[in-house]
Amino acid sequence: MSAIDIQAYLDTHLVLTQAITGLDEEQLKWKETEAKWSVTEVLSHLADHNIVVSFRIRDILADTKAQLPAFNQDLWVSGQHSNDGNAADILSVFWALLQYNGLLFGRLSEQDLDKTGINFKGETVRVRDIIQGFSRHVQHHVGQIDRIKAAYQAQSSVAQGGNV
């Protein structure tokens, strides 16, 4: 077993599920402005990020020495029409990737976890740091989901003539 917190990685699904509990379809797809993401778009971004991170880790483990790819998150979200997606479907894909990666992580040695690659910024990154960074990235976006929910509530109160 590797010395990383695989459970914290796997728990990101539960954290996201809890963050959206009770939201209806309107709330999941609501956008404060056209330039900002909806909750569904945040979830889609996190699934995409999971795909990219999965590739980056496997590329490092394969010792390809290629520069790790970047991705334009806004173009990915808009290009996929992410807001037309279904939150439950997105979370299912997210969970499947977590499980698959969790199995891989459990097979990695300390030496594997310390393997490095060069990210798109030219920085050296270790596998273990990518895994831990993913969990932090999800937490950051849970904060974004909370802000979207608060903005939705505020606009709903104003629309109903209430005070904010």
pLDDT in tens, 1-29: 457 899 999 999 999 999 999 999 999 99
User: How many CB atoms neighbour CB 60 within 10 A?
Assistant: 21
3-state SS assignment for residue 117: strand
Q: pLDDT (tens digit, 0 to 9) for every residue of the chain, 164 residues total?
A: 457 899 999 999 999 999 999 999 999 999 999 999 999 999 999 999 999 999 999 999 999 988 999 999 999 999 999 999 999 999 999 999 999 999 999 999 999 999 999 999 999 999 999 999 999 999 999 999 999 999 999 998 877 776 55
Q: How far apart are CA 26 and CA 152, in angstroms?
A: 10
* Sequence-separated (6 or more) residues with CB below 8 Å from residue 129: none
Q: Where are the beta strands (DSSP E) in the chain?
A: 116-118, 124-126
The pTM is what? 0.93
Asked if 97 contacts 54 with a C-beta cutoff of 8 angstroms, the reply is yes
Query: 78-115 burial by CB neighbour count: b if 16+ within 10 A, else e?
Result: eeeebbebebeebbebbbebbeebeebbeebeeebbeb
> Which of 46, 106, 128, 134 lies closest to 82 in space, CA to CA?
46
CA gap 68, 52 in Å, rounded: 9
pLDDT of 160: 77
Cα–Cα distance between 29 and 82 in angstroms, integer? Answer: 10
Residues 23-45 have pLDDT tens digits of 999 999 999 999 999 999 999 99
